[in-house]
Amino acid sequence: MDMSTDTAPGRATAATAGELSYAEAAALAVQREMEADARVVVLGEDVGRGGIFGQYKGLQQRFGAERVIDTPISEAAIMGAGVGMALAGLRPVVEMRVVDFALCGMDELVNQAAKNRFMFGGQGRVPLVARMPGGIWDASAAQHSQSLEAWFAHLPGVVVVCPSTPQDNHSLLRAAMQCGDPVVYIEHKNLWGRRGAVDESLAVPLGQAARLRAGDALTMVSWSRQLQACSAACDLLAAEGIAVELIDLRTLWPWDREAVFGSCGRTGRLMVVHEAVQAGGFGAEIAASAAEATGCRIARLGAPRIPVGYAPVLEAQSRVTAERIADTARALCR
């Protein structure tokens, strides 16, 4: 996919913002893009009051209700309006509240946004960012805790992004808003309060992974909130003398094959870990591609194919813990 950019001329580079939460970093990213480009608009339920996670806090007061648009409770109408805006020359940020609710707007995304450029020979572009918070939401049960990123990675015509840190949620969201194609942007529902340093001048291109740890025993690839459990597992393994190279994929489509293949080619082992259900998960695509390209040994780890329970003891069955990750890594290294 061509992820060409079409940015406003004279865009300035901002200074370091300091420590921000995941939500604050996203709000600042939207603010900066709205300041730089009058075509950027936001639409969705409750965006005027800042969004349910605070990811639009203060933006309607700054830019007005004509650019930060509160909508009726209709995901199909929200997504459809966003597609129309994009085709008319705007650059909409479409808020779906959570990925589970976005299912009501799938036709507009799948059959209109994703396919317009192909079906009309490039005469129309849909530079739309669909924000769909995903993942297990504590004590929110099966209809509010789904990880559906593999659905969108399977969809030709869209870019898929899963940021794991405040810095990435700032830099990647800005990159998504500058992209000339539709972007499915999946922030994790339980990361909004996570804090970290954010440098506004740091540009992170779509499709580039990040190496979080160096190691020679095993390559471990993950994304989004699952990186936290992976990092804890790496600490456990390091205490035993097992040095893991940990990679945050960041963008699921296009994904950074060069970084992954280069790493697992050196280590000879690849383990892919994700919070989503293992059956049919995107980890299988990475694993199969790496095995074909490098011949490395493979392990993958995801959630069981069950709905996420409401009770804590049931919810825990869907989580991929640091202990499970470490156990699987040890078996792969034997």
Helix or strand run (H / E) with residue 257: helix 257-267
Coil, strand or helix: which one is 205? coil
144 labelled catalytic: yes
What span, in angstroms and rounded, lies between the C-alpha atoms of 113 and 180?
A: 12
108-121 per-residue burial string, b: 16 or more CB within 10 A, e: under 16: bbbebbbbbbeeee
DSSP string, 92-121: EEEE-SSHHHHGGGHHIIIIIITTHHHHTT
Torsion sign across C-alpha atoms 324, 329, 330, 334: positive
Catalytically annotated residue among 144, 170, 188, 274: 144
**Distance, C-alpha 254 to centroid of its chain:** 12
What span, in angstroms and rounded, lies between the C-alpha atoms of 257 and 323?
A: 27
HSE, CB side, 13 Å, CA atoms: give it for residue 92: 24
Q: At 163, which amino acid appears? A: P
**Distance, C-alpha 167 to centroid of its chain:** 13
Provide CB contacts within 8 A for 281, sequence distance 6+. Answer: 150, 274, 300, 302
Q: At 20, which amino acid appears? A: L
Torsion sign across C-alpha atoms 47, 51, 56, 59: positive
By annotation, the residues acting in catalysis are: 144
